[in-house]
Structure 1
Amino acid sequence: MFEQDSLHQRGKALEDEFFHRVDEKLGAALRARMDRDDAIERLKSTTGFDDQAVVEHLVDAGFTPSSIVALALVPMVFVAWADGNVTAAERQSVLSAALHRGVNSEPAAFSMLEDWLHHRPADSLWHVWEEYANAVGQSLTPTLATMLHQEIMRLATKVANASGGHFGRGKVSENERVVLDQLADLFAVTG
């Protein structure tokens, strides 16, 4: 009889432990979903975007209200990486643009940018940026959208011109030209 009670207690303990673990996993999943929903709402409020999918993609890519400002520099980062590495001159050009836009006042954004300049970002970042650029472009008047596109092209071209040529100026590589053409094509479609 004692052995049967012990076996029953052991079985009950194992059952309780199993359900405790299931409850923990469900609680963690619920907390994660609530955290994600909260992050989406905060980023939606910061950006003013109504497009749920765009905001979700931004959150899933790791952007927060304090790091979203770094997203504007993505075209320059991809131009810098076009030839497989970022030169000191390209890095300086990107950081200069970042400083002029106040990215250094947002530690999360500046850290994200630093990481992109040290480790080539995944192509998925480019796709998130395209969605972001389209959403921003739709929220602007045509004149402002054109001005923004021109500024992005100017800064991206400045990064492309930062290395190569004579004394580090004036030579845009074939790979950099491909990225610049992608930008121009995107703006032709959205502009």
Structure 2
Amino acid sequence: MDKGILSDREKAMEANYFRQQDARLLEKLRNANKLDDMAEALRDGLHVDNPELLERARSLGITADTASAFLCAHLVQVAWAEGKVSRKEHDVVLRLAHDRGVEAGSPAHAKLDEWLHARPSEELFDTAIEVIRFGLNIFPPAEREERVQRILDACHDVAAVSGSEIARQLGLGDGVSKSEHHVIDVLATRLRRHESPKAE
């Protein structure tokens, strides 16, 4: 009897602890104006809730200095969708990253430039999207969907930049190729898959 009461109490305390951790992470993510801030918040959350995913990122060579580049990996993935990165795609990825606080000359900027010249592994792309999804899953559904849509809009901006301007003007498409649409669709599916970041 006592063991049962103690077990229930321990479970309640554990659930309360995780709720508090989620609330702290949610607040940090909401207040993150730059990718560096978001990367720091996600690192803290992963350290508590998903240390294996954090270790996967570290094993790929991601450091505190390059973590903000890691949060832009989906843009790099779209840029590589057709097997090569155009100059326009390269510039748009770096501009979008700069808009989120990745400064020219920083280690994160250099890492993005490196990835845009030599395609990273699928493991890097997969791990990056899982880290982002971990952070998104903390948000309430409507807010999560709004943030997912912003990510997908940025992916579309990268994909559309190298498309045919004439085709767009004639209403023959948005300039996004089938391979780019496929990559964006896969990213959308993965980002919208909601699971608790912790095992029940």
Distance 1:102 1:52, change over 3 A: same
Q: TM-score, normalised by structure 2?
A: 0.68
- Structure 1 residue 140 displacement after superposition: 2.5
Distance 1:155 1:89 in 2: 14
Runs of 5+ unmatched residues, structure 1: 1-42
Which digits, 9 at most, give the CA deviation of each residue in 1:27-61, with x for residues without a partner? Answer: xxxxxxxxxxxxxxxx7884432211111011111
Aligned to 1:111: 110
Runs of 5+ unmatched residues, structure 2: 1-39, 169-173, 196-200
- Structure 1 residue 148 displacement after superposition: 1.5
Aligned to 1:63: 62
Matched ranges for 1:7-46 at <5 A: 46=43
Distance 2:42 2:175 in 1: 42
1:177 partnered with 2:181: yes
Q: Secondary structure at the match of 2:192?
A: helix
Matched ranges for 1:1-191 at <5 A: 46-49=43-46, 50=48, 51-104=50-103, 107-166=106-165, 170-190=174-194
Distance 1:144 1:72 in 2: 18
Distance 1:168 1:95, change over 3 A: farther
Report how many aligned residue pairs link the two structures: 149
Q: Secondary structure at the match of 2:103?
A: helix
Q: Identity percentage over the alignment?
A: 29
Structure 1 residue ranges (4+ consecutive) displaced by more than 4 angstroms after TM superposition = 43-46
8 Å CA contact retained: 1:161, 1:168: no
Q: Which amino acid aligns with 2:165?
A: H
Q: TM-score, normalised by structure 1?
A: 0.71
Q: Which amino acid aligns with 1:73?
A: C
- Structure 1 residue 157 displacement after superposition: 0.4
